[in-house]
Amino acid sequence: NNNINILAIESSCDETAAAVVKNGRTILSNVISSQIALHTLYGGVVPEIASRKHIEKINQVIKQALSEANVTLQDIDAIGVTYGPGLVGALLVGVAEAKAISYGTGKPLVGVHHIEGHVSANYIEHNDLQPPFLCLIVSGGHTHLVIVKDYGVYEIIGRTRDDAAGEAFDKVARAIGLGYPGGPKIDKLAKEGNKKGIVFPRAHIEGSPYDFSFSGVKSAVLNYLNSCEMKKEEVNRADIAASFQDAVVDVLVRNTIAAAKDFNLDQIAIAGGVAANSALRKAMSDGCKEQGIKLCYPSPIYCTDNAAMIGVAAYYEFIKGTRHGLDLNAVPNLKI
Ligand code: KG4
Ligand code: ZN
């Protein structure tokens, strides 16, 4: 049997996840134990609680991933695991687990960059997607515009100068009382609002046309809320959500399409939690149609953190020969 099965583990933030991926693009199982309900109580992810919960859940999640895939550890060819970037205590749980399985079974260990996982999520449902393409990665911790030159070969051409896109969504959601995680809640509320209701700034960084900045728009929302409070004016939260979202989406689409044109790339992919945003998907798709650029994005379940995407990335690293030793460590600020 020539199949290559990867057991993948992801624990970089607040989801404990394991998956089995066959030959790089076929997902045999994708188990996610989310801690969101737990962290909602505190308005955001509490690192210490995340680590402890990962320890409690990880064995069960892996067992379930193997059983849903109908395989045993003997059928696995390599263990893929996220080793950064992320919360150090959270990452350590997955890395220690993967190393233990690798040691116990003698199967090779492949450390995966979390962001490479997000990019690779696009391979799952788009069988004909192949490098080179342009990828916009928008998550809670990252906003990057990268040229995917080959599997695992990236050139970063743009990044955020301050807040990540998802971080801005989460902070604005908190300010208007929507709670954590804010992205999906803003997405939903924005559908009832007028996106031209309030004009929020669109940052343009002189000399760096592919860079982003979201702290300005976030501050503008906070200032708007303060001034309404001082004037004792009623705020329309749906209008704020829609107008804020429109400002963020505008810049994401503008810079991404400009980069695709400048670098002559006819294929764009989006990745990361914010890639699940319905307004971003719509605006990017309209923009790409206008320019004759192909667009793909993963289903929402593969946009937010999951282990299937880590298994896909691990597969392409594995067939290139990447192997990690039992000295693999968590690297919270791992560079792409
Ligand atoms: O990729 P992800 O699960 O974790 C990181 O690696 O950061 O991304 C989580 C981020 C959060 O900030 C969350 O609010 C945002 O993705 N997000 C969304 C949506 N779904 C998740 N933002 C906007 N619209 C959504 N529908
Ligand atoms: Zn992520």
Provide CB contacts within 8 A for 335, sequence distance 6+.
none
Q: Is the shortest distance between the CB of 24 and ligand 1 below 6 Å?
A: no
176: pLDDT strictly greater than 80:
yes
Query: Ligand 2 centre from 59 Cα, in Å?
Result: 21
> 10-49: b or e for each residue (b if 16 or more CB lie within 10 Å)?
bbbbbbbbbbbbbebbbbbbbbbbebeeebeeeebbbbeb
Predicted confidence at residue 209, as pLDDT, reads 96
Query: Average pLDDT for residues 106-111, to the nearest whole number?
Result: 98
Average of pLDDT values for 80-85?
98
Question: Does 80 contact ligand 1 (Cβ within 6 A)?
Answer: no
Could you report the per-residue pLDDT of 3-25, keeping only the tens digit for each? Answer: 999 999 999 999 999 999 999 99
CB 153 within 8 A of CB 131: yes
Please give the pLDDT value at position 137: 98
**Is the Cβ atom of 183 under 6 angstroms away from ligand 1?**
yes
- In angstroms, rounded to a whole number, what is the distance separating the alpha carbons of residues 334 and 314? 16
| Atom 14, ligand 1: residue with shortest CA distance | 183
Please state the ipTM of this predicted complex: 0.99
pLDDT > 90 fraction of the chain, expressed in percent and rounded: 96
> Which residue has a Cα nearest atom 22 of ligand 1?
183
- What pTM, to 2 d.p., does this model score? 0.96
Query: Is 170 labelled as part of a ligand binding site?
Result: yes
Average pLDDT over residues 127-154: 97
224 CA distance to ligand 1 centroid (A)? 24
Mean pLDDT taken over the chain = 97
Structure tokens that stand for 269 in this block = 């992919």
Query: In 3D, which of 155, 140, 163 has the Cα closest to residue 259?
Result: 155
Calculate mean pLDDT across residues 102-110: 98
91, 82 Cβ separation under 8 angstroms: yes
CA-proximal residue: ligand 1, atom 8 (nearest): 273
Strand order in the sheet with 5-10: 26-34, 15-22, 5-10, 78-84, 109-113
In 3D space, the residue among 277, 24, 260, 278 whose CA is nearest the CA of residue 135 turns out to be 260
Is the domain spanning 5-119+303-320 CATH 3.40.50.20? The answer is: no
Q: Which pLDDT score is estimated for 77?
A: 98
Cα–Cα distance measured from residue 142 to residue 303, given in angstroms and rounded to the nearest whole number: 13
pLDDT of residue 180: 87
How much is the pLDDT for 336? Answer: 84
Please list, in sequence order, all residues whose beta carbon lies within 8 angstroms of the beta carbon of residue 272, skipping any fewer than 6 positions away.
118, 137, 138, 139, 140, 142, 166, 303
* Annotated binding residue 162: no
Is 273 near ligand 1, meaning CB less than 6 Å away? Answer: yes
- Residue ranges matching CATH 3.30.420.40 in the chain: 5-119+303-320, 131-298
Q: How far is the CA of 47 from the centre of ligand 2 (A)?
A: 15
| Mean pLDDT of the 208-215 span | 97
CA 53 to ligand 2 center in whole angstroms = 18
* Annotated binding-site residue? 126: no
Identify whether the C-beta of residue 91 lies closer than 8 Å to the C-beta of residue 324: no
* Best residue among 169, 270, 309 to mutate for probing ligand 1, ranked by most atoms within 8 Å of CB: 169
- Is the pLDDT at 1 greater than 80, yes or no? no
Site to substitute for ligand 1 among 244, 304, 310, most atoms within 8 A of C-beta: 304
Superfamily of domain 131-298: ATPase, nucleotide binding domain (3.30.420.40)
d(CA 254, CA 164): 17
Tell me the C-alpha distance between 309 and 299, whole Å: 12
pLDDT tens per residue, range 290-313 = 999 999 999 999 999 999 999 999
Beta carbon of 158 within 6 Å of any ligand 1 atom: no
Q: Is 183 annotated as a binding residue?
A: yes
Question: What is the C-alpha separation between 294 and 280, in angstroms, rounded?
Answer: 15
Q: Which residue's alpha carbon is at the smallest distance from atom 10 of ligand 1?
A: 140
* Cβ(110)–Cβ(79) below 8 Å: yes
Report the atom number in ligand 1 closest to the C-alpha of 305. Answer: 3
Per-residue pLDDT, averaged over 268-277, amounts to 98
- pLDDT score recorded for residue 11: 98
- CB of residue 154 inside a 6 A radius of ligand 1: no
* Contact assessment for residue 217 and residue 203, using Cβ atoms and an 8 Å cutoff: yes
Ligand nearest to the CA of 273: 1
Cβ(276) to ligand 1 under 6 A? yes
Question: Token pair of 140, please?
Answer: 């809670």
Distance CA 302, CA 230 (A): 43
Q: What is the pLDDT of residues 147-174, one digit of tens each?
A: 999 999 999 999 999 999 999 999 999 9
Tell me the per-residue pLDDT of 18-44, one tens digit each, with 9 for 90 and over: 999 999 999 999 999 999 999 988 988
Residue 329 has pLDDT above 80, yes or no: yes
Question: 141 among the known binding-site residues?
Answer: yes
